[in-house]
Amino acid sequence: MFQELEMINTRPKPYEFYTANELWTNEHTSQQMLSFHLNEKIDVSSRNADFINRSVEWIDSKFNIGAGIKIADFGCGPGLYTTRLAKGGADVTGIDFSKSSIQYAQQVADKEGLAIQYENQNYLDFETDDRYHLILMIMCDFCALSPSQRKLMLRKFHTFLEPNGSVLLDVYSLISFKSHEETAIYEQNLLDGFWSPSKYYGFLNTFKYETEKVTLDKYTIVESDRTGTVYNWLQYFDTKDLEKEFKQCGFKIENFYSDVAGSPFDSKSTEYAVVAKRN
């Protein structure tokens, strides 16, 4: 028992483990995430409906969305952005790891008569011959990727974009990083049954990596017949470091905003958004 507790509380090296597969392809947890997406009043898997509506209005105006504009939404979830953008006349593709979310998004598209193309796969593996005018990665998905994964995605974005095409994504700021503290929590059925339909005991260890400006939420879930661990990494950025990553992959930052609804940039914000142009 002591050795097991030692393992649970061990701090891994930054990005030593990657468990997105377990989170997004597990039937139970993917359904839980879908329910969060569809709760219009909360900002968990997706932002609340009022914000999304404001965000889409700004995107429509900023990027002149309409017929002939091709958009790809990486991490599209149940289509909260893709559906709205397609209604504006754009040619939209959504990519997401969650089968539950993609199935829901497709059902909505079919019901609304929208010709949205959905791809159920890890967007790190996504390939296409299509070329887009705008690529989205919203809800700070970029922060969940390791440095090598972020470089891979930006290079893919560069390939997938039309000349002078744009990327819009949001990230967590260093202000947010400073507000986090290391913790260790133990609860029966941690997060109210999120991790399993069966009885379980959950451990949550939150670690901070000061040099890398990274946090880790390490979830260890103990059931009667198995024990599993999920690693949720998050990178936090200042504008200079983010600009450097984009520049290395052939992009020029056009502007920073406080969010993907186009609010003016505030250096004290816990999140911020960036619009980058393909060179």
State pLDDT tens for residues 174-223. Answer: 999 999 999 999 999 999 999 999 999 999 999 999 999 999 999 999 99
Predicted TM-score of the model (pTM): 0.94
Decide which of 3.40.50.150, 3.30.70.980, 1.10.10.10, 3.40.50.2300 is the CATH code for 27-171+238-278.
Answer: 3.40.50.150
- Where do the structural domains in the chain lie, given as residue ranges? 2-14+176-234, 27-171+238-278
Q: Residue 7 pLDDT > 80, yes or no?
A: yes
Q: CA 9, CA 27: separation in Å to the nearest integer? A: 27
Q: CA 227, CA 242: separation in Å to the nearest integer? A: 37
Q: Residue 45 pLDDT > 60, yes or no?
A: no
255 close to 231: Cβ distance less than 8 angstroms: no
